[in-house]
Amino acid sequence: MLSKYQLQIAHAVCGALGTLLFLPIGILIPRISRGLTTHRWWFPAHSIVNGLLGFAFITAAFGIAVANFDVDGGISSTTHRQLGVTLFALMFAQIGLGIFTHWVKARQGFHFNGRGPTNFLHMILGLVTVAIGWATTYEGLTSEWTLWGVRGPSAPGYKTGWAVIVAVESAIYLGCLALLPRQLNMESASRAAKGGQGLEANGAKETR
């Protein structure tokens, strides 16, 4: 039987790995690779990092919290808990939207000249999910930790580490936006060469 402190650490580690490592890396993979090539080698990596690893660790963190920490006022009684529930729901929405965007829509012939609305929604919602994940972890390390911290408040180094990780990942993503013109030019040339089919239609053929 794990102690309350061990459960708290397990929850924090799972949540931090999901929100500070796997989710950001998952969106950086397509952001970088699509600026370098039109081949969809990035898609399996993106799916595994976000859809499997990110989802698994966030689900584990959520499950540990619900099963082991009795909350006065309900599961949404603090900012950390509200963000956690929102993040958990967004993960399901993102996985479902990703499956539809990259698999169902493409294979069923829903073609657009470039990207369809669901592609943009998936990208925007992905950024929102990462931001909420960051906020969830920060609230967990600050306000929520004081409620359950059986050994006192969290160490200042945790918050410093959070800030450094978020700053580095944000800088990398913003820097990679410089690849966007190259990406759009390559995709335009690829569509022209393949008869104007939508990007996901071409991608579906590559994954078969």
Burial class (CB in 10 A: 0-12, 13-18, 19+), 165: middle
| CA 180 distance to own-chain centroid | 20
* Token code pair at residue 60: 């584990």
Are residues 200 and 116 in contact, defined by beta-carbon separation less than 8 angstroms?
Answer: yes
Which of left, alpha, beta for 78 (phi over 0: left; psi -120 to 50: alpha)?
beta
**Residues of 130-156 as b/e, b for ≥16 C-beta within 10 angstroms?**
bebbbbbbbbbbbebbeebeeeeebee
Structural domains in the chain, CATH included, are 4-206 (1.20.120)
Residue 206's pLDDT is 44
This prediction's pTM: 0.85
Residue 204's pLDDT is 45
Residue 205's pLDDT is 44
DSSP-derived 3-state class of residue 35:
coil
Residue 149 DSSP class: -
Residue 69's pLDDT is 80
User: What is the residue-level pLDDT of the chain in tens, covering all 208 positions?
Assistant: 888 889 999 999 999 999 999 999 999 999 999 989 888 889 999 999 999 999 999 999 999 999 888 666 556 678 999 999 999 999 999 999 988 887 765 554 555 455 678 888 999 999 999 999 999 999 999 988 888 766 777 888 999 999 999 999 999 999 999 999 998 898 888 778 876 555 554 444 444 3
- Helical ranges in the chain per DSSP H: 4-16, 23-33, 42-46, 55-68, 79-99, 105-107, 117-139, 145-148, 156-176, 180-193, 199-206
Residue 128's pLDDT is 98
Task: Give the residue carrying structure tokens 């700053």.
Answer: 167
Residue 118's pLDDT is 84
